[in-house]
Amino acid sequence: MPFRFADPAVQPITIEVVSDSSWSEVEKTLSAPQRAFARLLDFAPKPGRHCILPPGEGQSARVLFGVAETSDRSYDPMLPGRLAVVLPSGAYRFGADTPDLDLATLSWALTSYRFTRYKKAPNDLAQLCAAEGVDQRRVLRIVEAVSFGRDLINTPACDMGPEALAAAATGLAERYGAKAAVIQGDALAAGFPLIDAVGRAGHQPPRLVDMVWGRADAPKVTLVGKGVTFDTGGLNIKPESGMLIMKKDMGGGATALALAQMVMDAGLDLRLRVILPIVENSISAPSFRPGDVIRSRKGTTVEIGNTDAEGRLILADALALGGEDKPDLLIDFATLTGAARVALGPDLPPFFTEDDELASTLQRHGQIVRDPVWRLPLWSPMIPCSTARSRM
The catalytic residues are: 238, 312
Q: What is the DSSP letter of 294?
A: E
Q: What is the dihedral of CA 312, 249, 253, 186, to 10 degrees?
A: 60
313 in Cβ contact with 197 (< 8 Å) = yes
Residue 370 zone, left/alpha/beta (φ > 0; ψ -120 to 50; rest): left
129 in Cβ contact with 49 (< 8 Å) = no
| Cα–Cα distance, 231 to 311 (Å, whole number) | 9
φ/ψ of residue 358, rounded to 5: -65, -45
Bridge-based pairing state of the strands 62-66 and 50-53 = antiparallel
Per DSSP, helices labelled H in the chain are 20-28, 32-40, 83-86, 101-111, 136-154, 162-175, 186-191, 193-199, 240-243, 251-266, 310-323, 339-344, 356-368
Q: Is 56 exposed, middle or buried (0-12, 13-18, 19+ CB in 10 A)?
A: middle
| Cα–Cα distance, 72 to 66 (Å, whole number) | 14
| Cα–Cα distance, 375 to 353 (Å, whole number) | 8
Task: Give bridge partners of residue 328 from the DSSP assignment.
Answer: none
SS3 196: helix
317 in Cβ contact with 296 (< 8 Å) = yes
